[in-house]
Amino acid sequence: MTHVFVAPHPDDVALSCGGLIASLRELGQSVVILTLYSGTGNADRLTPYQREALGFGSKAVWPVTEAFNRAHLAADFPDDAAAAPWAAAKDRLDATQADVDAAAKRFWQRSSWSRRAQIHNQSIAGQAVMDDVAPQGALQTTERMEAAAAGDTMAKRRLEDERYAAFAETSIIFLDLPDAVFRGYEGDEQLLGAPRGNDPAPVDLLRRELARLEVSRVYLPMGIGGHVDHQLARDAGIALLSDEPSHVMGTPSLVGRMVFYEDFPYAWWEDFGRLDDLPGGGLPGLPGGVSLEAEFADVGDQLERKIRAIALYESQIDRLFGGTKEMADAVRGYAARVADLGQVPNGAAERYWVTTPA
């Protein structure tokens, strides 16, 4: 059984749920990130606003001049520093190799065969070196790396999402639906307004993926801030709450297993505190007989790991927060405020809204 976190875009789950994901993985729980709107369109036709919304950025690239010469700055470690593991000399590597060989021998001593640990990244008995073997799946493929290097912004954002998944030890699935700006939304009034009538929520697509993944819990955005893609992701989940349980395939109702998370940093910017703060006083379209109950996740021991993970989304940090330090301050500040609301003792929390029978 799997915890599935539905992200409207690359970075949304890391920003909103990174602490809980780290806690779940620490407990050995299976986690899958399902990113909906990571697809592309014709970037050449984008307006300046749409390019900025995607994270193309508008900061100048500074020239290489003496004003930016950092040659006078001392290195973190001197050249002969014993503390720098990457500066290890051959004799130190050989000593370490002897230690790991002895450890490997002790580990395999009860077996009928043994392995040797190899730290030199060299082939043993003709076996392939793992660094030379292409990985399975789409993780940082050559094509995606080349596309990101060539300036494909969505490729870069997907690459950041994959790096986060590797860091957080989760699986990740890209459904590659086009981002809202590629579907013609422009300006805050449109991007943060109501979805268009000809732009439906991806209900069938989400239903198919959740059935395939054998969901233990599914987490969706509340749509705080009103971003069109966040609203459509939320609406797709709410629509699935009305599905009748299927006894043929053994799929029970999602009521009780569907959870909504608070969209960060929108919830921080809008000082979100309770359901009444949402437009209309709650989630629109919630079926009759279904209510929401707050559940607080204590993330005090995972908060710094969450901040480090968010920093992997380099294309978004400046645009959203103005810098890494500002991002860290916002994450800590919001976590402390949520912990105060839920009286969580460790001083850092994430809040989730769990569907329950009314």
**Residue 191, domain CATH:** 3.40.50.10320
Looking at the structure, tell me whether residues 164 and 266 fall in a common domain. Answer: yes
Q: pLDDT tens, position by position, for the chain (358 residues)? A: 689 999 999 999 999 999 999 999 999 999 999 999 987 755 455 555 554 554 443 333 333 344 444 444 455 555 554 555 555 667 777 777 777 777 777 666 555 444 555 656 666 656 666 555 544 444 555 665 666 665 577 888 888 998 999 999 999 988 889 999 888 888 888 999 999 999 999 999 999 889 888 899 999 999 999 999 999 999 999 999 988 766 555 557 899 999 999 999 999 999 999 999 998 888 999 998 899 999 999 999 999 999 999 999 998 999 899 999 999 999 999 999 999 999 999 899 999 999 999 8
- Out of 77, 104, 130, a domain closes at 130
One-letter amino acid for residue 304 of the chain: E
Q: Range of 90's domain?
A: 85-130
* Pair 105, 240 in one domain: no
Check whether residue 182 and residue 330 sit in a common domain: yes
Structurally, the chain folds into a number of domains equal to 2
Residues in CB range of 112: below 8 A, 6 or more apart:
none
| One domain, residues 30 and 109 | no
Torsions phi, psi of 230, nearest 5? -65, -40
Q: Is residue 67 part of a domain?
A: no
Q: For residue 91, tell me if it sits in a domain.
A: yes
Last residue of a domain, one of 130, 164, 191: 130
* Residue 10 and residue 54 in one domain: yes
> Within this chain, do residues 44 and 90 fall inside the same structural domain, yes or no?
no
Distance CA 347, CA 16 (A): 17
- Domain annotation covers residue 64: no
Residue 159: predicted pLDDT: 87
Examine the domain organization and report whether 32 and 100 are in the same domain.
no
Statement to judge: residues 91 and 222 lie in one domain: no
User: Is 65 domain-assigned?
Assistant: no
Domain presence at residue 149: yes
The reported pLDDT for the residue numbered 202 is: 94
Same domain? 314 vs 353: yes
Domain ends where: 130, 155, 187?
Answer: 130
Say if residue 249 is in the same domain as residue 338: yes
Q: Name which of 322, 314, 329 is nearest 161 in CA terms.
A: 314
Looking at the structure, tell me whether residues 269 and 342 fall in a common domain: yes
Show the DSSP H helices in the chain as ranges: 12-26, 48-54, 90-108, 142-149, 153-168, 187-191, 203-213, 228-240, 266-269, 303-310, 314-321, 324-342
Contact 264, 15 (CB under 8 A): yes
- Does residue 69 lie within any of the structural domains? no
Name, in order, each residue with C-beta under 8 angstroms of 55's C-beta and a sequence gap of 6 or more: 153, 156, 157, 315, 316, 319
Look up the pTM and report it. Answer: 0.72
Residues 241 and 113 in one domain: no
136 is a domain residue = no
Confidence at residue 13, expressed as pLDDT on a 0 to 100 scale:
97
Q: CB-hemisphere CA count at 13 Å for 118?
A: 14
Residue 70 lies in a domain: no
